[in-house]
Amino acid sequence: MKLKPVNDKIVVKPEPKKEDERTASGIILPDSAESGGLLQGKVVSIGAGMHSANGTIIPICVDVGDDILYSKHNGGNEYKLDGEELLIMSQNEVLSILESK
């Protein structure tokens, strides 16, 4: 099975979550303790784009295979498919595309 997003939605495979950090005294600091914070993921599927008021299609700004950054506070909806964690989000939730120099 695979996901085929509609309109301006994209499917993202998030990077694996890092383990919780510990202070010198052994207190566990979960990743939610960090303020702000961006997460990275890879786009695995994209929709066709949104329809404008006059009926033309506004294309998606990311491509399959792009590495993206998104906010951990606004990171789409989680979905598990065949044991794989995925996120379904709007392209508007993408903050940046990572490109090599």
**Structural contact between residues 57 and 50, judged by C-beta atoms closer than 8 angstroms:** yes
User: How high is the pLDDT of residue 26?
Assistant: 73
**Structural contact between residues 97 and 66, judged by C-beta atoms closer than 8 angstroms:** yes
Q: Where are the domains of the chain?
A: 9-16+28-98
How far is the C-alpha of 50 from the C-alpha of 35, rounded, in Å?
33
pLDDT (tens digit per residue) in 33-75: 555 588 999 999 999 999 999 989 999 999 999 999 999 887 7
Arithmetic mean of pLDDT over the chain = 86
Where is pLDDT greater, at 16 or 13?
13
**Structural contact between residues 100 and 21, judged by C-beta atoms closer than 8 angstroms:** no
> Which residues, listed in sequence order, are joined to residue 50 by a DSSP beta bridge?
58
**Per-residue tokens: 42:** 């890879």
**Per-residue tokens: 24:** 């010198």
CATH of 9-16+28-98, one of 2.30.33.40, 2.60.34.30, 3.40.50.150, 3.20.110.10: 2.30.33.40
How far is the C-alpha of 51 from the C-alpha of 28, rounded, in Å?
47
